[in-house]
A = this chain, B = another copy of it.
Amino acid sequence: MTKNSSNIMALAPNTSNKRETVCIFGTGDFGRALGQKMIQSGYPVVFGSRSLRTSSLIPKEAEVLSHAEAAQKAAIIIMAIQRQHYDFLTPLAEILRGKVLVDVSNNLKINQYPESNAEYLAQLVPGAKVVKAFNTVSAWALQSGTLDASRQVFVCGDDMEAKQMVMDIVRALGLTPLDQGSLLAAQEIENYPLQLFPMWKFPIFLSLGLTAFFFFYCLIRDVIYSYVYENKDFSFFLAISIPNRICPVVALILLGLVYLPGVLAAIVQLYRGTKYRRFPDWLDKWMLCRKQLGLVALAFAFLHVFYTLIIPVRYYVRWRTEDRIISKALNNKTDPFNNTNGWLSDSYLALGILGFFFFVLLGITSLPSVSNSVNWREFRFVQSKLGYLTLILCTAHTLVYGGKRFLSPSSYRWYLPNIYMLSLIVPCIVLVLKFVLIFPCLDKQLTQIRQGWERNPRYSEQSNYIINKSAV
């Protein structure tokens, strides 16, 4: 529902049964926007301000007082000021005793200070109950009412009751509070709005690295080789031909890397004979970014599909076709239809289309709203069964594409194999390992281990601390 001007009148002064007064320290953008929103939701608001210079911008329903006076009027005080100015609170310590102080501040850099702003505030005013909240919401979003980015408000604090009071306000403003535990979580909450796709970094850098490597590989094999030996200028291959070789290769390798850690984890569990030991750190991290890896792979597959479909429109392809037909016509020569080629060509295209179809399906089910509406068994079915089907189809697509060329010496220029051969290594390893793991003898033991059975129960004692950590 769009907030239009009629809403300003909705802040009727005659509302009975008012909610409890909230005090806001600071009359900057965020303080004012939050105050306005609270007034709209029925909270009486008092601003505590150093000066009265900017007071004309403050919502007229709110009172503006000195810090000390304002603090006395409310049980909850929202600190809409920057960490550098927290010092002025020290003289107010007595007035703030027992009050709920809500730290809404953000920093400019991740881990800018040794302790979080909220913990620093708790040290400055030891008698107050400090709650961290609202830092993920922007003043602009509060004002415009278009909370597109996020309705989630992370809340943490040591005092349960204070936290509950703040979470009630969050809910009343139409936002969703998420309890993150004690004040020690504040550091993480303060870092959150500064993050830029932290889970995507590894998949994106990996894919860019692979892209760069294969780009130079293809440059040497396809452009420089042709220039050196055949004196032909194929530099325009850089626009479509080479990207269309790189994209499927990177997509297939990334898709293989999505399923490799699961297979490795199963091997580790089988070898150890227990599931109650933590995986090595790299394996843990790898498993956590599988979804992102898969979506980056899908992006490359998407590009590959459109680069392939555009082929017949390209000038080079049209010229080559025309040239070949004319020279054949002039030489009075026709090729008979080769049934094997018909089969190979149609099969690899069909496998590719089916692989892309299931890949898109996987991508759709990883949308938050879709994955929220399926149960656990359904989610596992799609991500595991359909995922392996996609991997098999895409690997088969590449194998059939290679066809008879794997052994042909002309595919090896300067002893460099064609890059689609390199792309097959990872997915083939995954598929072979997975095939071995579904042998009844191994599969049965793995199922037992995953249900809690231990080959060597003494491990559980020594791994206590490790489990506790990984269980969080």
A106 nearest CB across to chain B (Å): 10
A434 nearest CB across to chain B (Å): 20
A54 within 8 A of B: yes
CB contacts (< 8 Å) of A356 on chain B: these are 306
Instruction: Please state if B330 and A179 are interface contacts (CB–CB under 8 Å).
Output: no
A193 within 8 A of B: yes
Copy total for this chain: 3
Closest B residue, CB atoms, query A470: B143
CB contacts (< 8 Å) of A416 on chain B: these are none
Contact segment of A204-212, A259-267, A344-352, A418-426: A344-352
A310-B353, A322-B324 are known contacts. Are A1 and B332 too (CB-CB below 8 A)? Answer: no
A302 to B138, CA, bound (A): 33
A294 to B377, CA, bound (A): 23
Closest B residue, CB atoms, query A18: B160
CB contacts (< 8 Å) of A17 on chain B: these are 159-162
A28 within 8 A of B: yes
CB contacts (< 8 Å) of A346 on chain B: these are 236-237, 239-241, 314-316
A329 within 8 A of B: yes
A115 within 8 A of B: no
A191 to B291, CA, bound (A): 28
A194 nearest CB across to chain B (Å): 7
CB contacts (< 8 Å) of A159 on chain B: these are 15-17
A389 nearest CB across to chain B (Å): 14
CB contacts (< 8 Å) of A59 on chain B: these are 468, 471
Which size class do A's interface residues fall under?
A: 35 or more
A369-B369, A381-B196 are known contacts. Are A330 and B332 too (CB-CB below 8 A)? Answer: yes
CB contacts (< 8 Å) of A60 on chain B: these are 468
Per-residue B-contact encoding for A349-375, CB less than 8 Å = 1, 0 else: 110011011001100000111111111
CB contacts (< 8 Å) of A311 on chain B: these are 312-313
A158 within 8 A of B: yes
Interface residue from B11, B41, B182, B357 paired with A306 (Cβ < 8 Å): B357
Instruction: Please state if B182 and A10 are interface contacts (CB–CB under 8 Å).
Output: yes
Closest B residue, CB atoms, query A307: B353
A148 within 8 A of B: yes
A456 to B267, CA, bound (A): 69
A310 to B397, CA, bound (A): 14
The residue in A10, A189, A371 that gathers the most chain B C-beta atoms within 10 A of its C-beta is A10
A178 to B147, CA, bound (A): 13
A313 to B184, CA, bound (A): 60
Closest B residue, CB atoms, query A28: B452
CB contacts (< 8 Å) of A318 on chain B: these are 321
A335 within 8 A of B: yes
Closest B residue, CB atoms, query A145: B472
Instruction: Please state if B373 and A150 are interface contacts (CB–CB under 8 Å).
Output: yes
A321 to B370, CA, bound (A): 45
A308-B313, A343-B239 are known contacts. Are A183 and B2 too (CB-CB below 8 A)? Answer: no
Instruction: Please state if A7 and B188 are interface contacts (CB–CB under 8 Å).
Output: yes
A345 nearest CB across to chain B (Å): 3
A185 within 8 A of B: yes
Instruction: Please state if A57 and B329 are interface contacts (CB–CB under 8 Å).
Output: no
**Can you sample 21 A-B contacts with CB below 8 Å?**
A6-B185, A6-B188, A9-B184, A12-B184, A15-B159, A57-B276, A149-B372, A149-B376, A174-B178, A174-B179, A195-B377, A236-B339, A236-B343, A236-B347, A239-B346, A239-B349, A302-B360, A311-B312, A322-B335, A326-B328, A369-B369
A7-B185, A136-B375 given; name 8 further pairs at CB < 8 Å.
A4-B188, A56-B460, A60-B468, A148-B371, A197-B378, A237-B346, A239-B350, A329-B330
